[in-house]
Structure 1
């Protein structure tokens, strides 16, 4: 199933596009979208088309912070009933888990995962679409919205340690640092916000239990109406688990709260299997990892879940007709990251 997003995820697009002298209607047509999709907040549209729209708009505007400008004026309520529910959860942890639970209503293409290490937590976010190399702006928008929601819930108590992006840094990183209010690390191994784990359980002083219950009555029917794609959920969780070396079919099944047999049966019903999805996710990410020369070939192998570099090299040669080292040596190899 093709990943879909709700029109509310592009809230503010028209205003930012026009601010930069762009014709938003023409750009929508260029990526195959009708202008009506942004008029109806609950309308669902192709995530790949949404990603292309943001990339093309940022490029033509000469504005690497296009997505951040869209997020700057965002409030949780701008993403509809789900936003109202998130804004009234008791803690940031509750809000993030709610976002994961209602991911089909919020944004099929955005995966959210909490990765704990000691006293720190990484609030990871990855965009899964059929345009894997065109997600820079969409990724920044996703993390920017998460940061805005976190700040709204915790107020001055929200103090992120850093924000990390896997893509390369723009010429001027000042706007990113100013937006997130913390150091921003580009060419990183993950996309995510690092903060103290204790922040997840601080009380939200503006939480209203009655409003939260009301919002949930609005969201649940929307969630029930969206068909679930197990294959898409497997792709998301593999993106998070591969760098941890925990991406066996049993690991994935456990993360999705299913038995291994149930997961395999549901994938078969969609005409797919675990190994083909594993190969697809690796293929989607390998070029991005290799384009970052700060990652050694061995480290790229680890990020893709290979226990041995030789196994990774064999896999890569079968698919690209050359070794990872030879691919990286080509002048055009890093074009996708510029």
Structure 2
């Protein structure tokens, strides 16, 4: 089944598209979305279609900051009931935890992981799209929305301010990063090992005046019930963790089992019921991420190997050749030729055949980890 998200994710798409010279309704039609998705924020639409819409809009308009332009005007109300849950938390730090827990009610493909180290809090984001290809616009929109969400809280409090310690993206820097600097209020770091934002923990210990303990409990109970009703399978939960743990070099099934508070045998058993295995999921996630990482020609292949959890460059190179039927340099050359000669729409801005073959082979080959 495809991953879905609330149509509220397209808030202000029409305005941004028109501002860069696009016909928004033609762009929607090109990815199979009707105008009706803009009229009701609670309609569930495929993540793949929205990701394709954003990438195509950026490519056709020539504005590589399209996703960030959409994030700039986001408001708390765009998150629906989740906004109420965040407002009822006692501190901004607790609101971050709630955001990470409940944001998948807004977007099923989102994977968010919170890590703390030396007074720094890292908000790692990922997208388990289920398909290979570049997702630059979707990723920048997600990170931008998280930033806007936290800063909308402070906008309600006179004299409060919050500056990130660092804003990170795995993809290469654009020719002009003015929109990034304008939105985040600071220079952004590109070519990093994760997509997300780093804050000082001490800066997040800001009390929220809207906190009401009784209301907070009711809202959490409601959202927890909504989470329980979602169709997230064991495979989905494993994919979310794998997508954020691979780059840290500790993505064993034992680590995933620990994060899910279950034993590894339970994971194996539940995955087997759905016709999947842990190694198959790891392999599929690697295929998705590999095409995004190597799209950045400035990133060394040894770094790509480490981000995908391989112990050496040679191991990664052998895996890549088996999955894509060519070397990384050959893949990049084919992508460049496809980009120069492309005349039609391609999801994620890419349409080279090795990606499709790799996606199909994921179920037939899986390297154990």
Q: Quick one: which of 289, 307, 332 aligns to 2:336?
A: 332
Cα distance in 2, alignment partners of residues 119 and 190 from structure 1: 19
Q: Which residue of 2 aligns with 1:192?
A: 196
Please say if residues 37 and 43 of structure 2, whose CA atoms lie closer than 8 Å, have aligned partners that are also in contact: yes
Deviation at residue 170 of structure 1 after TM alignment? 2.0
| Aligned position for 1:10 | 10
| 2:80 alignment partner in structure 1 | 80
Does residue 266 (structure 1) correspond to residue 270 (structure 2)? The answer is yes
Please give the per-residue CA displacement for 1:201-254, whole angstroms capped at 9, x wherever unaligned: 332244344553454455345434321122222222111111111101111122
| Farther off after superposition, 278-287 or 151-160 | 151-160
Check 1:186–1:218 CA distance in 2 against 1; reply closer, same or farther (3 A cut): same
Distance change >3 Å, CA 299–CA 72, structure 1 → 2? closer
Q: SS in structure 1 opposite 2:211?
A: coil
Larger CA deviation: 44-53 vs 197-206: 197-206
In structure 1, C-alpha distance between the alignment counterparts of 2:48 and 2:260, rounded to whole Å: 24
The 8 Å contact of residues 52 and 134 in structure 1, kept in 2 or not, is answered as no
- Once the two structures are superposed, residues 262-302 of structure 1 have per-residue CA deviations (whole angstroms, 9 ceiling, x without a partner) of 22222122211100011111111123223334433322221
Q: Distance in 2 between matches of 1:89 and 1:11?
A: 25
Residue 318 of structure 1 corresponds to which residue in structure 2?
322
Partner of 2:258: 254
> Mean alpha-carbon deviation: is it higher for 283-292 or for 245-254?
283-292
TM-score (norm 2): 0.83
**Contact kept? 1:292, 1:334, Cα under 8 Å:** no
* Unaligned stretches of 5+ residues in structure 2: 340-347, 351-369
Counterpart of 1:307 in structure 2 is 311
**Aligned residue-pair number:** 338
- Give the aligned CA root-mean-square deviation in angstroms: 2.5
- Take 2:154 and 2:338, find their aligned partners in 1: how far apart are those partners? 39
Q: Which of 167, 180, 184 is matched with 1:180 structurally?
A: 184
Moved more, 323-332 or 308-317: 323-332
- In the aligned structure 1, how far is the partner of 2:146 from the partner of 2:104? 16
Structure 1: any 5+ residue segments left out of the alignment? none
Change (3 A) 1:268 1:128: same
Partner of 2:241: 237
Give the whole-Å Cα distance in 1 for the aligned partners of 2:329 and 2:275.
Answer: 35
CA contact (8 A) 1:87 1:149 kept: no
CA change 1:6–1:210 in 2 (3 A) is: same
Which whole-Å CA distance do the structure 2 matches of 1:12 and 1:282 have between them? 33
In structure 2, the CA distance between the partners of 1:118 and 1:175, relative to structure 1 (3 Å rule), is same
Tell me, in whole angstroms, the C-alpha distance in 1 between the residues paired with 2:146 and 2:338: 29
Q: How far is 1:87 from its partner?
A: 2.6
